[in-house]
Amino acid sequence: MLIKIYPENPNEKAIEQVVEVLKKGGLIIYPTDTIYGLGCDITNPKAIEKICRIRGIKPEKANFSFICHDLKHISDYIKPIDNTTFRVLKKALPGPFTFIFNANNNVPKLLSSNKKTVGIRVPDNNIARCIVKELDNPILSTSIKDDDDVIEYSTDPELIHEKYENLVDLVIDGGYGDNEASTVIDCTNGEFEVIREGKGNIEDFL
């Protein structure tokens, strides 16, 4: 199923429809402020396993991120952070960053058996954040990769739907996506260590 949602003013009924799919253990493809993501409800182990099968990886080895609604939402899943880190997050988010933190016990066991860390995103995209707010817990997220050697990520929601319609329950058309992923920053030692350069520049917020 492909549904159109406008990022400037997401339709409430459409958001509720998406959340209903997630609550039933369905998989969705949705827009962010960078690339399109494949996601599910983090509290649903079967849905997480489905995503792992699509990506051909084991849950405990996967580097998934959590899409959160805001800073308060983030604090539910990570160990306490210092004031400096908090100030940077406050300036940088919502934005095109994935921050890696030490995970607390709220992170589902399936996802933290080997790793004690969690990647957190608060994308600057109303559709993604409205879904998470309505769902009342984060979406587990992984990027939609493209088989093309030149284009790393799929950007056209209609083409994404054609490719994934038999693998996922719902694809959201939120307009063309970007072809540049988020910048990944490791904050587990209290520093801001860039481990993947992407769309965001953390230097602007330090």
pLDDT band at 195 (very low <50, low <70, confident <90, very high): very high
Q: At residue 101, does pLDDT exceed 80?
A: yes
pLDDT value of residue 152: 57
C-alpha radius of gyration, the chain, whole number: 16
Q: What is the pLDDT of residues 127-160, one digit of tens each?
A: 999 999 999 999 999 988 765 544 556 788 999 9
pLDDT band at 113 (very low <50, low <70, confident <90, very high): low
In a domain, residue 206? The reply is: no
Q: At residue 72, does pLDDT exceed 90?
A: no
Q: Domain total for the chain?
A: 1
In a domain, residue 78? The reply is: yes
In a domain, residue 202? The reply is: no
Q: What mean pLDDT value characterizes the chain?
A: 90
**What is the 3-class SS of 146-165, one letter each residue?**
CCCCCCCECCCHHHHHHHHC
pTM exceeds cut of 0.85: yes
CATH of the domain at 51: 3.90.870.10
Q: Which helix (H) or strand (E) holds 71?
A: helix 71-75
Structural domain containing residue 86 = 2-196
In a domain, residue 205? The reply is: no
